[in-house]
């Protein structure tokens, strides 16, 4: 709480919803949101939180805490200077102190919000993508500017699984083809609102194509985008669109993170490379031989974090499941990720070790007969069809 507060985040706390059974004698209202204003160490041992209600109702202030420390003086900094004595008393009634132990017992949780006063906001609602197509975001920046991007996941229809992935920003062109990677940002949904926002980014004039790859889901949802900037988002400075791109463009965007490197050679002409970004590892393979192969990868975390994947097998898997890769092709096999809480400090990269087995010839034919389908999301792309891509 102190970390977020010192970084000028807005914090609120909510009580239980209506109809829940909890002690109303505390004075707090159910299904109510309170502002977290300040914290204090009182008398050297009591950790207190200063909360504020939304306002005053009927001559009194509903929702005030009636317990210990509630009536400690409110710092003058939170009272407007140009108010009458009567108004000052009303303002003070909006605030109360509560000990951290009671706070944790009575409130469900904390909501943390970024706050940027005076910034322009542009919301882009998604189009429904046709079969084999996915939404992208095209930016035409005419004047050097600072932008942040918020990506909001639609309401889940079946489960509340938070998704992970990468937001790759490429230099764009009129045909919406994938150009050089300008920036790659790990995306992990860490809140109940299932949203993520980037740090402010400095954009030079030019065209950019933003590809939001959802590496932990088989089908990309229709995300909503919110762009914010300290400058007016007028057409003479900035323009954006929501074009459709083929699924192959998303695959090429991910493969561009090879950064021109083939990775570890696990067998003659067979290469495996992983790309770690935040809490996500992208696992890619290249088959430079002239024969079809099967490859099995079993991953184990190096830093004791619990890891997950919808495609890659996790240690201690006992059965070999193979990915099938055609001759002279490259492919993203899958993603490994871990679930982390939101923190203010930079987090270490997720690291894994791998057990890898490659089969071909008669052994491959036998395996394909038993298991004709594999679990990878994207079809392999021929090496000759991949553009020359590199990170700046």
User: Which of the four pLDDT bands, split at 50, 70 and 90, describes residue 229?
Assistant: very high
Domain of 249 in residue numbering reads as 120-254
Please spell the DSSP secondary structure of 113-134, one letter per residue.
Answer: E---TT-EEEEEPPPPPPTTEE
User: Same domain, yes or no, for 224 and 291?
Assistant: no
Out of 70, 87, 113, a domain closes at 113
Flag whether 291 is in a domain.
Answer: yes
Out of 61, 90, 113, a domain closes at 113
User: Peptide bond preceding 316: is omega within 30 degrees of 0, i.e. cis?
Assistant: yes
Flag whether 391 is in a domain.
Answer: no
Using one digit for the tens of pLDDT, what is the confidence trace for 98-152? Answer: 999 999 888 877 887 777 778 899 988 877 767 777 778 889 999 999 999 888 8
Put residue 371 in one of left, alpha, beta given phi > 0 → left and psi -120 to 50 → alpha.
beta
- Read off the pLDDT of each residue in 156-183 and give the average, rounded to a whole number: 73
User: Peptide bond preceding 304: is omega within 30 degrees of 0, i.e. cis?
Assistant: no
Q: Indicate the pTM of the whole model.
A: 0.71
Flag whether 392 is in a domain.
Answer: no
Per-residue model confidence (pLDDT) at position 217: 61
Flag whether 380 is in a domain.
Answer: yes
User: Same domain, yes or no, for 100 and 7?
Assistant: yes
Flag whether 66 is in a domain.
Answer: yes
Distance of alpha carbon 3 from alpha carbon 289, whole angstroms: 52
HSE, side-chain direction, 13 A CA sphere, residue 70? 13
CA 153 to chain CA centroid, Å, is 10
User: Same domain, yes or no, for 266 and 356?
Assistant: yes
User: Same domain, yes or no, for 14 and 127?
Assistant: no
User: Same domain, yes or no, for 216 and 263?
Assistant: no
User: Same domain, yes or no, for 142 and 263?
Assistant: no
Flag whether 390 is in a domain.
Answer: no
Using one digit for the tens of pLDDT, what is the confidence trace for 14-63? Answer: 887 665 555 667 888 888 889 898 888 988 889 999 998 866 544 455 68
Flag whether 281 is in a domain.
Answer: yes
User: Same domain, yes or no, for 191 and 269?
Assistant: no
Task: Say how many domains are in the chain.
Answer: 3
User: Same domain, yes or no, for 264 and 239?
Assistant: no
Q: Taking Cα atoms as reference points, which of 167, 150, 153, 139 lies closest to residue 233?
A: 139
User: Which of the four pLDDT bands, split at 50, 70 and 90, describes residue 391?
Assistant: very low
Give the length of the chain. 392
Q: Taking Cα atoms as reference points, which of 148, 162, 163 lies closest to residue 114?
A: 148
Out of 254, 274, 292, a domain closes at 254
Residue 174's domain is classified under what CATH number? 2.60.120
Per-residue model confidence (pLDDT) at position 28: 85
DSSP 8-state symbol, 63:
T
């Amino acid at each position: 709480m102190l970390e977020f507060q010192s970084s000028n985040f807005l914090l609120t706390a909510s009580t239980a919803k209506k109809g829940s059974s909890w002690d109303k004698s505390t004075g707090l209202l159910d299904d109510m949101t309170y502002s977290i204003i300040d914290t204090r160490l009182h008398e050297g041992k009591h950790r207190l939180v200063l909360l504020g209600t939304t306002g005053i109702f009927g001559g009194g202030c509903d929702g005030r805490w009636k317990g210990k420390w509630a009536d400690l003086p409110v710092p003058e900094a939170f009272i407007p200077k140009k108010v009458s004595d009567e108004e000052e008393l009303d303002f003070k009634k909006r605030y109360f102190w509560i000990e951290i132990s009671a706070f944790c017992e009575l409130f469900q949780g904390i909501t943390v919000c970024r706050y940027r006063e005076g910034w322009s906001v542009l919301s882009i609602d998604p189009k429904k993508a046709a079969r084999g197509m996915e939404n992208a975001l095209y930016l035409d920046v005419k004047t050097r500017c600072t932008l942040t991007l918020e990506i909001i996941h639609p309401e889940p229809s079946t489960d509340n699984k938070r998704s992970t992935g990468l937001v790759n920003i490429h230099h764009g062109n009129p045909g919406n083809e994938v150009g050089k990677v300008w920036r790659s940002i790990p995306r992990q949904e860490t809140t109940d609102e299932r949203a993520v926002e980037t740090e402010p980014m400095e954009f030079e004039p030019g065209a950019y194509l933003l590809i939001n790859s959802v590496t932990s889901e088989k089908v990309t949802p229709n995300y909503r985008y919110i762009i914010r900037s300290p400058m007016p988002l007028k057409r003479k400075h900035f323009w954006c669109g929501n074009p459709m791109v083929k699924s192959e463009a998303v695959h090429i965007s991910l493969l561009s993170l090879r950064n021109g490197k083939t990775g570890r050679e696990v067998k003659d002409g067979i290469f495996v490379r992983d790309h770690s970004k935040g809490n996500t590892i992208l696992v890619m393979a290249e088959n430079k031989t002239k024969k079809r192969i099967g490859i099995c990868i079993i991953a184990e975390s190096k830093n004791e974090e619990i890891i997950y994947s919808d495609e890659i097998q996790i240690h201690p898997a006992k059965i070999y499941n193979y990915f099938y890769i055609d001759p002279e092709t490259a492919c993203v096999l899958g993603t490994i990720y871990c679930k982390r809480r939101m923190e203010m400090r930079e987090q270490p990269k997720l690291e894994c070790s791998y057990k890898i087995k490659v089969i071909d010839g008669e052994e491959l034919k036998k395996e394909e007969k038993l298991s004709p389908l594999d679990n990878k999301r994207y079809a392999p792309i021929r090496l000759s069809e991949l553009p020359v891509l590199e990170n700046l």
